[in-house]
Amino acid sequence: MKVFLKYTIEDLPAQLSKAVDGFSHIRSRGLASDFAPTGTIFIVHGVEFSSGNVLYRLPDPPKGHQSILGLAMLFEIIDPRVSRYWECRVLPSGKIVSWPPSWFKPFYHDLLSDGDPAIVADFARVTSLLNQESATDIGYLAHPHG
């Protein structure tokens, strides 16, 4: 699945901005303009459904060594096909996620942020698989508006 950043959290249209008003934890998961320029294309690493919102797990730019969350409403889907490397599960918190199976290890994303060597190596392996899968999807690299 590929998406491009259509809006930053600062330039969301009013009708979309109202959808996250009063939810500072959701608003904070948007992407600020200093994070990535609009038009940046991402390979989606996973999808999360939480508190009525859809969030994408994305590699952080520019190097992609970490996983970040971005509000789906900020993006436009340019390749709608989901990865064959994802599994869908309901977490104990009630959140529904579709991720690579290794990510279900307890505290995976915390360990990744902490630089745990085994988790960092797994994340690099998963990222490589997703990138290779995406590279075979000829025809989805062009920006849909330009």
Q: pLDDT of 68-116, one tens digit each?
A: 888 888 899 999 999 999 999 999 988 999 999 999 999 999 999 899 9
Residue 142 lies in a domain: no
Lowest mean pLDDT among 2-6, 35-39, 71-75: 35-39
| Domain tally, the chain | 1
pLDDT-based confidence at 144, cuts 50/70/90? very low
Tokens of 32: 């600020």
CB atoms closer than 10 angstroms to residue 107: 11
Contacts of 120 (CB under 8 A, 6+ apart): 65, 112
Tokens of 17: 């901005």
Residue 146 lies in a domain: no
Is 142's pLDDT higher than 50? no
Residue 78 lies in a domain: yes
Domain ranges, residue 100:
2-134
Say which residue the tokens 């500072």 belong to: 24
Tokens of 114: 């902490």
Residue type, 95: K
Q: Read off the DSSP letter of residue 35.
A: T
State the pTM of this model.
Answer: 0.82
Task: Assess whether the previous peptide bond of 62 is cis (omega < 30° from 0).
Answer: yes
User: Nearest Cα to 75, choosing from 142, 9, 15, 141?
Assistant: 9
Residue 87 lies in a domain: yes
Query: What distance in Å separates the CA atoms of residue 37 and residue 99, rounded to the nearest whole number?
Result: 25
Residue 79 lies in a domain: yes
Q: Read off the DSSP letter of residue 60.
A: P
Residue 145 lies in a domain: no
**Positive or negative torsion for Cα 26, 32, 35, 39:** positive
131 contacts 44 by C-beta, under 8 angstroms: no
Contacts of 91 (CB under 8 A, 6+ apart): 97
pLDDT score at 139: 44
